[in-house]
Structure 1
Amino acid sequence: MSRHWAVILAGGDGVRLRSMTRAIAGDDRPKQFCPLVSDETLLASTRRRAALAVPPHRTLVVVNRAHERFYTPLLADLPTRLVVAQPENRGTAPAILYALLVLAARQAASDTVVFYPSDHFVSDDAAFSGQIGEAMVGTARRPDLVTLLGIAPDRAEPGYGWIEPGEPVSDAPLHRQVRRFWEKPTMADAERFRAQGWLWNSFVMVGRVSTMLALIRLTAPDLYRSFSEVTGTLGTLGETPALERLYCGLPSVDFSRQVLSARPDRLAVLPVRGVHWNDLGDPDRVMATRRLARMASLHERPPVLIPA
């Protein structure tokens, strides 16, 4: 029976929000290690969200060793086998490939994995995790596909990537085929996309480990080959030096552009409705999300009883 794993991507540098994180935390920590929206860091929020769908003992966190002083106290409760530390940040594709190879080396190639970026706001974690569960069901029925969670937009957002959905997927009718990706459109195009029922790309992905590895091998063969010298060292004392040698000459590779956009026929999208979602990629979105979170907190707060 296929088990479920989660991988939290927390190795980004968060340069665009550096001034904001410096004002909040007093140092140059990346945004995922900062309490941007609430008293909780984005990484802690993501771990809590992932735990609703996948047991914490099967959740890996991908980090960047340059951020060790920031992530170490936040991950003190995790055994080292669950912390996947890259020597440097080389974009999302190497981070995802490394995590997949770690899982495959642990005899999890036939298992299902959920990838969570660590810089998102989700208004209803329980509802969102219910959609993760539905994507897992879709993966069991169509293990040949990788499913993306596509957010039903509440506004025309030119700063997001969009997914043009196609027909329902056979054997998984709640899922839709992926026709095409549209990255950061004009405002006019974003308005049109929203009117046509297209979806934001959340970059939350669900699929079989083996299926995702095959997709990377197909679309990014040079990157896949470059990791071959590391594969045999995973879980041994040779892993760290082999990774350092590899990452020295490794180019930055974006998973969305290099892998997903290249083969939409290998993908499905599951529409997510009724959940407010934000990618906290720029200061304006952070401030808007903070206001939203503050209003939600006031709404959920129990009424104050005034004595007569």
Structure 2
Amino acid sequence: MITAHIFAHNPQAIIATIASDHTVEKINNYKEAISEILRFATKNPDYLSTIGIKPSRAETGFGYIKVGKKITNSNLYCGEKFVEKPDKKKAQKYLESGDFLWNASYFAFSAGRMLGMYKKYSPLIYNGIKNIMAAFGNKNADKILNLEYAKFPTAPFDTIIAEKHNKIAIIPADLGWSDIGSWASLYDLLSRKIGGHTVTEGHHVGIDNKNCLIYAKDKLLATVGLEDIIIVDTKDVTLVCNKNKSQDIKKLLEKLKIKGKSEYL
């Protein structure tokens, strides 16, 4: 929708998508990488340009991009394929190969070409966007928006567009990047900041704990000999989770809903 709106005002526009729930520690590297993909997208509008992050662990909660040959007269490389959140075995294989980068979902593209991609790869969304745009300013605009939007698939952009497009350009970047949408990612960020192996907040006393994230708000939490464990203790719920399984918390939330425990979500 935003792309269509921008295109209506400026058909030559180049757009960058930036995630709001990420942290970036190396600001200058970040600015340079964003500028690089914007420049590339301006000169090569048929490409979908993106930034890739060198993986530090076999993460199953992120998408990956396989990196191919370097593009002539450019600092970017061909993106050979997208992989949407692999299982642990595949993620470990990608990490060891050195050929894959995390997909941070920072994209730069031509507004007009992006609409063309939707027309080619997802006519349902494209036609819905056209109908919504045509209704802007009319008294039925909100009704049409709700009707059309309800038809859209819930699949992510990577699946609908990026995985199908055959012209992907990627720049590897060291951004000090974290997607803090999971407890494991939050641990990585905080442990780097404090320079320690175990991150604690609140009332906690521990011995010989390693690579743990422990939050105890209301009562004292005592731990001995834990490794790769996340503990979040609040007034009404205590979460104990293997750090390497933190992405499975989504499954746990679904189970709570099924069991009628939604008040704890």
Relative to its length, the structure with more helix (as a share) is 1
- 2:21 is aligned with 1:114: no
Q: Distance in 2 between matches of 1:234 and 1:193?
A: 45
Report what 1:287 is aligned to. Answer: 187
- 2:4 is aligned with 1:101: yes
- Root mean square deviation, CA, Å: 2.2
- 2:165 is aligned with 1:233: no
Q: Distance in 1 between matches of 2:150 and 2:84?
A: 29
Report what 1:73 is aligned to. Answer: none
In the superposition, relative to structure 1, how do residues 143 and 247 fare at CA in structure 2: closer, same or farther (>3 Å)?
closer
In the superposition, relative to structure 1, how do residues 121 and 139 fare at CA in structure 2: closer, same or farther (>3 Å)?
same
Secondary structure of the equivalent of 2:35?
A: helix
Secondary structure of the equivalent of 2:135?
A: coil
Q: Which has the larger radius of gyration?
A: 2
In the TM superposition, what is the alpha-carbon distance from 1:237 to its structure 2 partner?
5.5
In the superposition, relative to structure 1, how do residues 242 and 288 fare at CA in structure 2: closer, same or farther (>3 Å)?
same
Whichever residue aligns with residue 276 of structure 1, its letter is G
TM-score by length of 2: 0.67
Q: Distance in 2 between matches of 1:110 and 1:179?
A: 27
State the Cα deviation string for residues 144-174 of structure 1 (Å, max 9, x = none): 1010111112223232111101112234x21
CA contact (8 A) 1:169 1:175 kept: yes
Q: Distance in 1 between matches of 2:151 and 2:82?
A: 29
CA contact (8 A) 2:128 2:149 kept: no
- Equivalent positions of 1:1-308 (< 5 A) are 98-106=1-9, 108-171=10-73, 173-197=74-98, 198-234=100-136, 238-263=140-165, 265-273=166-174, 275-294=175-194
TM-score by length of 1: 0.58
Q: Count the aligned residue pairs.
A: 195
Report what 1:7 is aligned to. Answer: none
Secondary structure of the equivalent of 1:156?
A: coil
Percent identity at matched positions?
22
In the TM superposition, what is the alpha-carbon distance from 1:276 to its structure 2 partner?
1.6
In the superposition, relative to structure 1, how do residues 110 and 154 fare at CA in structure 2: closer, same or farther (>3 Å)?
same
In the superposition, relative to structure 1, how do residues 146 and 269 fare at CA in structure 2: closer, same or farther (>3 Å)?
same
Gaps of 5+ in 1: 1-97, 297-308
In the superposition, relative to structure 1, how do residues 282 and 133 fare at CA in structure 2: closer, same or farther (>3 Å)?
same
In the TM superposition, what is the alpha-carbon distance from 1:238 to its structure 2 partner?
4.9
Higher RCO (CA 8 Å, separation ≥ 6 residues): 1
